Amino acid sequence: MTLSQGQVLLIAFGILVSGFVLAMATYFVTMKFAVDMRNPYLRTLVTALHQDEMKRSESETKENINALAAKVGELQARILRLDAFGERLAKAAGVKRDEFLLRRESRPGRARRLPAATFP
């Protein structure tokens, strides 16, 4: 019995794929049941993987918080410039300060109460 080159390649490919599937199945079963097992080596491996993921997650969160803080700072600077411009504009237009309240006092970080909407 002789095998052709195509048959040999097909057999080699089948062995390679079956080895890969076996390795993936072993990895899946090992990681799925590693927490329930009392094997200290598997527990150490799972703990190390979890710690790496937590560190990565923490660093991403810190980067996002820093980006948000920068955006909030930019928005606060824009608001201050708009307030100053509004005051200069009101002064140039001769609008009384009582009629045009630019700086309403509110506590920072709190939402202002909106007037009740009236519907016809």
pLDDT digits (tens, 9 = 90+) for 38-66: 777 777 877 888 888 899 999 999 999 99
Query: pLDDT above 90 covers what percent of the chain?
Result: 39
Has residue 65 been placed in a domain? yes
Of 117, 91, 110, the residue nearest 102 (C-alpha): 91
- Going from the C-alpha of 114 to that of each of 2, 31, 117, 118, the distances in angstroms are 87, 54, 8, 12
- Going from the C-alpha of 1 to that of each of 5, 11, 40, 80, 105, the distances in angstroms are 13, 15, 51, 89, 95
Has residue 16 been placed in a domain? yes
Q: Which residue has the higher pLDDT, 38 or 26?
A: 26
Q: Is the pLDDT of residue 83 over 70?
A: yes
How high is the mean pLDDT of the chain? 81
Q: Is the pLDDT of residue 3 over 80?
A: yes
Domain that holds residue 84: 10-93
pTM of the model: 0.44
Number of domains in the chain: 1
